[in-house]
Amino acid sequence: MNVFKFFAKKHIESKQEVMKKFLIVGLGNIGEKYANTRHNIGFQILDALAKNHDVSFETEKLGDITRFRHKGRVFILVKPSTYMNLSGKSVKYWMTQEKIPLENLCIVTDDVHIDFGAIRIKIKGSAGGHNGLKDIQEKLNTQQYNRFRFGIGGNYPRGGQANFVLGSWTKDEESQLIERIPIALKAILSFGTDGINNTMNSYNGK
């Protein structure tokens, strides 16, 4: 094998290896007082995913992080430690650090515009008033990134959105989450193994 073919082969192998890595970022706020709140469903889903794959988070720069392999893919889970409104800083850092292409990024977040427990996965879109998504959009300089939105419903009075999203789950919601979160985990794994379009077709509206 000549030198050109050798380096061309290494370049292809390197590119393939990068494409097998997927960065899943769950949005939330750090601190015990936020642990069981609606706004932290991103953290909650990633905690469940890590537990299912018998891995633990470790605190590193700008977040808690863990990794696992599934069907030949590497899933890198990150829970930013920057607080919700500065999530983009952590996302951009870990994308650069792990050499993750934009199409292999997925942001897991809450959404008050979606019925409780419903899943909506999109390739692009506006921040929809969500400060975490707004900061990610600004730091990445694009709206074209995959986002996994978990509905928390909008059952709050006028002017009460902040208290609602930062409030704890009700007992009824907690019981329903036992059924809904496993579906969310399957959808995230599908994103890495089956692609974003197939995942949207299979899980949107579930």
Residue 154 burial (CB count, 10 A): 15
Q: Catalytic site residue 11?
A: no
- Active-site residue identified among 11, 39, 53, 130: 39
Check if the beta carbon of residue 182 is closer than 8 Å to that of residue 142: no
Positions marked catalytic: 39
